[in-house]
């Protein structure tokens, strides 16, 4: 991972003093995490941010599958926000500067420990709980489209919930806009994508296209989210139709 991205992910978002990329040395030591929304008056009294996520790049995936692929064009995969971190039991709650959040210290975000490249829908869906499906899906796309230079992240790094009920608050534009300005913009500058793949309609809708050149936005591809309320195999088939057609045109 580039030094700029290491600084963003493991100093700014989550402070992992001993981590600069994928490691299976769990649990990770965590010295702190981003509390900028809490300390800058972005949240209302009934709101809290309870989960947090970092990014991953090709160097992380290559530590699992040691393989060189042919397409070197920088491609950024962007999801909307952290999903069910707590439900999937990938970390623990930590308190930093009076703020409590669920930190993924028992799992490297976006990366699953697999033994072989994932080829075909059967292998992709084999024993995959929804929590592990995202990482497996990225491995599948890397292999199918021979992607050698990717970066995966969430548009918004934390999940907004109600203080009393822990219910997800869907209208979180203040948090999203602040996080885009404070962190996501820095990821764009550091990675310099030539192609952007938005996972899910909301990611595409709220992507800050004013932060990138028009030529790059023309290379933005919107895919169905793996957790969409559709048959999983159908989701992957439709995404392959979209991605295969668009990437062939972009890479040719």
Q: What is the DSSP string of 156-186?
A: SSEEEEETTT--B-S--HHHHHHHIIIIIHH
Residue 69, number of CB atoms within 10 A of its CB: 17
Q: Which domain holds residue 25?
A: 3-251
Stretch 25-30: mean pLDDT: 96
What would the pLDDT profile of 156-174 be if each residue is shown by its tens digit? 999 999 999 888 888 899 9
User: Residues 212, 11, 106, CA angle at the centre, nearest 5°?
Assistant: 105
Q: Please tell me the predicted confidence (pLDDT) of residue 171.
A: 86
The closest alpha carbon to 30, from 94, 73, 74, 76, belongs to 94
Q: Please tell me the predicted confidence (pLDDT) of residue 85.
A: 57
Stretch 132-141: mean pLDDT: 90
* Phi, psi angles (nearest 5°) of residue 37: -60, -45
**Considering the entire predicted model, what is its pTM?**
0.95
Give the CATH number of the domain where residue 219 resides.
3.40.470
Q: Please tell me the predicted confidence (pLDDT) of residue 128.
A: 55
* CB 226, CB 233: distance < 8 Å: no
Cis peptide before 221 (omega within 30 of 0): no
Total structural domains in the chain? Answer: 1
Q: Please tell me the predicted confidence (pLDDT) of residue 225.
A: 94
pLDDT above 80 (res 129): no
Q: Please tell me the predicted confidence (pLDDT) of residue 71.
A: 95
Q: Please tell me the predicted confidence (pLDDT) of residue 140.
A: 95
Q: Please tell me the predicted confidence (pLDDT) of residue 251.
A: 81
Stretch 193-211: mean pLDDT: 96
pLDDT above 70 (res 237): yes
């Amino acid at each position: 991972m580039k030094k700029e991205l290491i600084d963003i992910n493991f100093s700014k978002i989550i402070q992992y003093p001993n981590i600069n990329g994928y490691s299976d040395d769990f649990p990770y030591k965590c010295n702190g995490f981003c509390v900028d929304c809490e300390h800058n008056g972005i949240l209302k009294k009934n709101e809290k941010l309870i989960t947090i996520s970092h990014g991953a790049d090709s160097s992380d995936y290559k530590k699992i599958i040691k393989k060189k692929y042919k397409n070197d064009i920088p491609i950024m995969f962007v999801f909307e926000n952290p999903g069910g971190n707590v439900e999937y039991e990938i970390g623990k709650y930590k308190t930093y500067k009076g703020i409590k959040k669920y930190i993924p210290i028992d799992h490297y975000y976006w990366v699953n420990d697999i033994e072989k490249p994932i080829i075909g829908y059967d292998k992709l869906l084999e024993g995959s709980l929804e929590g592990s499906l995202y990482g497996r899906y990225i491995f599948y796309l890397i292999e199918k489209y021979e992607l050698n230079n990717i970066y995966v992240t969430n548009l918004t790094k934390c999940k907004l919930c109600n203080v009393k009920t822990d219910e997800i608050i869907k209208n979180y534009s203040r948090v999203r806009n602040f996080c885009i300005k404070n962190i996501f913009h820095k990821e764009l500058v550091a990675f310099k994508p030539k192609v952007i793949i938005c996972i899910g309609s909301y990611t595409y809708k709220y992507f800050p296209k004013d932060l990138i050149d028009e030529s790059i936005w023309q290379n933005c591809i919107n895919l169905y989210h793996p957790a969409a309320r559709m048959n999983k195999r159908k989701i992957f088939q439709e995404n392959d139709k979209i991605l295969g057609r668009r990437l062939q045109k972009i890479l040719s």
